[in-house]
């Protein structure tokens, strides 16, 4: 396994991060336990979850993934072997999440953290992340930003950081990060942390894969210069970059077969790009899944790549991607496809 520092901390995290959002929906608790046992044995010490998991979001499964992880900690007594990351959601219309609305105000974010700690059966969280902004901005695949002068009903960044500082002082969290954030949002948080002596955002969990390299525009430079690295989610683009959906295939129990609304990566240019990348993997005798993951891992701005698997076979393939080598010829071929089909699936 490979390791990198989380931000500018002394914390070493595996460059493969165990994603967990299927546990409680597509995966049972027993299967989640099996994944955690195997991943930790392979040197994967970094796990990511969220209060809203499992996915897709449903009231019936809200918090279920955190409960499964907490039960594993209780059973194995291995909490201290894991760097644990979870998230508090931003503005939401789901009334079952603290009545809906914004979640980063002092009262609600305190409730959210305490609820996560209870479900996870732990006294502390290593990395506490803001899952998406409260303000209106472009994330979750939106290209265009439409500014709304009337959008002022969101918690000031300084107030959020003050709450997070309090949690750190209380020993409830160690470090903080962002998710689904923009270059402006990250830069403002970093600016305030320097000026006001408040906690620094150590990471940004955003989508990054061969079909969506938009993180390279703006955010990548900030990540490198400010030591606030990317935690790349959806590195396999909902499974499209494994090749299993090529030629209109729809495997049983796959995410796209079960949840047809997840269509971010289903468009004409995206499918053409997938076929081109698949050809590259065959040209160099590489596993397509592993080539896709390794490309994300080797980026200078990437701290860790979040993998999600529903079967042990998938998990093993994903973790073994750390042993793949992408030489300059492979990278050049990949970049030629990016130039031909630039970010077809934002």
Average pLDDT, the chain: 95
CA distance 1 to 279: 27
What three-state secondary structure class fits 87?
A: strand
CA-to-CA separations, 313 to 54, 242, 291, in angstroms, rounded: 21, 13, 16
Predicted local distance difference test score (pLDDT) of residue 262: 65
Record the tokens describing residue 81, joined without a space.
């072997």
Which residues is 18 bridged to in the sheet? 47, 307
Contact 305, 44 (CB under 8 A): no
Q: Which pLDDT tens digit goes with each residue over 22-53? A: 999 999 999 999 999 999 999 999 999 999 99
CA distance 223 to 7: 9
Predicted local distance difference test score (pLDDT) of residue 260: 67
Sign of the torsion angle spanned by Cα atoms 276, 338, 226, 145? negative
Q: Which pLDDT tens digit goes with each residue over 91-101? A: 999 999 999 99
pLDDT at 264 over 80: no
- Scanning the structure block, which residue is given the tokens 């909902």? 238
pLDDT at 73 over 90: yes
> Residue-wise over 266-289: b if at least 16 C-beta within 10 A, else e?
eeeebbebbebbbebbeeeebbbb
Contact 283, 289 (CB under 8 A): no
Q: Which pLDDT tens digit goes with each residue over 224-253? A: 999 999 999 999 999 999 998 887 777 777
Contact 31, 23 (CB under 8 A): yes
Confidence of residue 254 (pLDDT cuts 50, 70, 90): confident
Of 212, 330, 217, nearest in space to 273 by CA: 212
Q: Which residues are catalytic?
A: 53
> What does the angle CA 221 – CA 225 – CA 231 come to, to the nearest 5 degrees?
65
Domains of the chain: 3-237+288-324 (3.20.20.100)
CA distance 227 to 203: 8
CA distance 274 to 6: 31
What three-state secondary structure class fits 132?
A: coil
Looking at 90-190, which runs of residues are DSSP E strands? 125-130, 173-179
């Amino acid at each position: 396994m490979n390791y990198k520092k989380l931000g500018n901390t002394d914390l070493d995290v595996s460059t493969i991060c165990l994603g967990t959002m299927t546990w409680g929906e597509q995966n049972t608790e027993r299967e989640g336990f099996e994944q955690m046992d195997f991943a930790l044995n392979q040197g994967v010490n970094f796990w990511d979850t969220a209060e809203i998991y499992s996915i897709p979001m449903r009231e019936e499964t809200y918090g279920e993934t955190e409960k499964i992880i907490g039960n594993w900690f209780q059973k194995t007594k291995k909490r201290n072997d894991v760097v644990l990351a979870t998230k508090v959601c931003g503005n939401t219309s789901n009334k079952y999440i603290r009545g809906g609305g914004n979640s980063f105000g002092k009262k609600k974010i305190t409730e959210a953290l305490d609820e996560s700690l209870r479900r996870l059966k732990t006294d502390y969280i290593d990395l506490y992340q803001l899952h998406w902004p409260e303000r209106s901005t472009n994330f979750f695949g939106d290209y265009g930003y439409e500014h709304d002068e009337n959008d002022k009903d969101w918690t000031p960044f300084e107030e959020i950081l003050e709450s997070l500082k309090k949690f750190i002082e209380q020993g409830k969290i160690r470090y903080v990060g962002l998710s689904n954030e923009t270059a402006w949002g990250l830069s403002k948080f970093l600016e305030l942390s320097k000026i006001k002596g408040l906690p620094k955002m150590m990471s940004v969990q955003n989508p990054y894969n061969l079909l969506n390299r938009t993180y390279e525009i703006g955010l990548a430079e900030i990540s490198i210069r400010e030591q606030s690295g990317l935690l790349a989610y959806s590195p396999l683009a909902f499974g499209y970059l494994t090749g299993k959906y090529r030629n209109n295939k729809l495997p049983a129990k796959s995410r796209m077969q079960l949840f047809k609304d997840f269509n971010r990566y289903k468009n004409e240019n995206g499918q053409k790009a997938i076929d081109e990348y698949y050809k590259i993997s065959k040209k160099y005798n590489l596993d397509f899944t592993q080539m896709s993951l390794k490309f994300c891992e080797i980026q200078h701005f990437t701290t860790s790549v979040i993998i999600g698997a529903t079967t042990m076979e998938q998990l093993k393939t994903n973790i073994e991607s750390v042993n793949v080598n992408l030489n300059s010829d492979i990278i050049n071929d990949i970049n030629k496809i990016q130039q031909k089909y630039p970010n077809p699936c934002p």
